[in-house]
Homo-oligomer: A and B are copies of this chain.
Amino acid sequence: MSKRNLFYAQSGGVTPVINASAAGVIQAAKRYPDQIGKVLAGQNGILGALQENLIDTSKENARTIEGLINTPGGAFGSCRYKLKSLSENRAEYERLIAVFKAHNIGYFLYNGGGDSADTCLKVSQISASMDFPITAIHIPKTIDNDLPLTDNCPGFGSVAKYVAISTREAALDVASMCATSTKVFILEVMGRHAGWIAGASALAASERGDAPHIILFPEIAFDKDRFLQSVTACVERYGYCVIVASEGTSTADGKLLSDQGERDVFGHAQLGGLAPLLAGLIKEQLGYKYHWAVADYLQRAARHIASQTDVDQALALGKAAVELAVGGANAVMPAIKRHSNKPYRWSIYPVPLSRVANREKKMPRRFISKDGFGITPQAREYFAPLIAGEAYPPYQRGLPHYIRLKQVLVKKRCPPWEGE
């Protein structure tokens, strides 16, 4: 096979370590000069391909590429843009192939979650049918940890670590003050469909009675009375109560607790989020003084306290994707297999995209304690190695030194894109 260029793009919500996967791709590609030409990255994800905004990564110096390993966010720009199905918008796929053809792109490496695994599979299929075969490899990334087959997803371990540390720290604060002040603290974390992030907060506890005392999972229907009873029991027993609530916490009818149709005085849907809603409930029903925090982007950007396991895996998966591509694989995703917990051993193996796309892996019931408010020892064993090690970034003047790319675009060769 003659030498062809490689296209890499980031998709969906970013993570503290998605750029480490990018670094893995760019560094590994250099080791195959006979097969791979340039690595061209999509500016703002797949939009970069559609709009022919292709970043020439060879214009970035090697130190900058190495610095990607320590830099959160999506350095090339990501996007929330889901390609429609082939029947709905074939033109979009044809445009992709046209751009790839114009730039001699033979490898499509797409770094994202379930949606992008689906896109990746479709690109592989349509390119074959259009007689311009492209090797399509999906690199897993999602803080939600909800991709099937892979033991865990890059991005998750660092968010889990951040949430566990924040829970432990905030709990010390509440415990200090509870004699005369705040009795209940609520931390809202991400995870709209799966409770992996909320569950990992349980690692904060090392002794019986330690925070978090109550975890709310999307997998467990919210029962107001049981919840309030549990808060009361906890405050009476320990003097305070720390709650970690997944944003996806829902009632038995499947409706998000944070979206129960309340309107504010202007008639707008409440924008308040789950934590203030729970705080209001506790204040009204139990009268406890409360505080609440919503970590939001802080949790998924917190590269300053990334997990070493996570960084290692993100980097390794980027490299593995290139190796799979040059090795002749297609329409696969490098996934993580866990061999043992102590010591933690893992390896990478390819799984077919047809088995990854559009499937969500929730917290299994056996990982959630019987009462639905905590995790089991089995879950603890699963989570523990994923947060191991502190991959500190370098600092300058008291702040992490995160790199910026020059983002030099290659010259356009196609007509402007007519899409949205």
- A residues apposed to B, CB below 8 Å: 10, 13-14, 44-45, 47, 71-75, 77-81, 161, 164-166, 168-170, 172-177, 179-181, 185, 187, 203-204, 206, 262-266, 268, 270-273, 275-276, 279-280, 283-284, 291-298, 300-305, 307, 384, 387-390, 392, 395, 397-400, 402
Contacts and interface: CB of A to CB of B under 8 A. Distances in A.
> What is the count of identical protomers in the complex?
2
Contacts of A75: 176
Contacts of A271: 272, 276, 279-280, 283
A89 to B, nearest CB: 16
A215 B305 CA distance: 25
B73 A301 contact: no
A80 B181 contact: yes
Contacts of A164: 398-399
A266 B284 contact: yes
3 interchain residue pairs of minimum CB distance: A73-B172, A74-B176, A293-B296
25 contacts: A10-B176, A14-B176, A44-B179, A47-B180, A71-B172, A74-B176, A79-B181, A161-B399, A166-B301, A168-B399, A168-B400, A169-B298, A169-B301, A169-B302, A169-B303, A170-B296, A172-B301, A185-B297, A204-B399, A263-B265, A268-B280, A271-B280, A384-B397, A390-B398, A392-B392
Contacts of A13: 177
Contacts of A268: 280, 283-284
Contacts of A81: 180
A375 to B, nearest CB: 15
Nearest to A302: B169
A84 to B, nearest CB: 15
B390 A392 contact: yes
A177 B262 contact: no
A402 B168 CA distance: 9
A303 B389 CA distance: 17
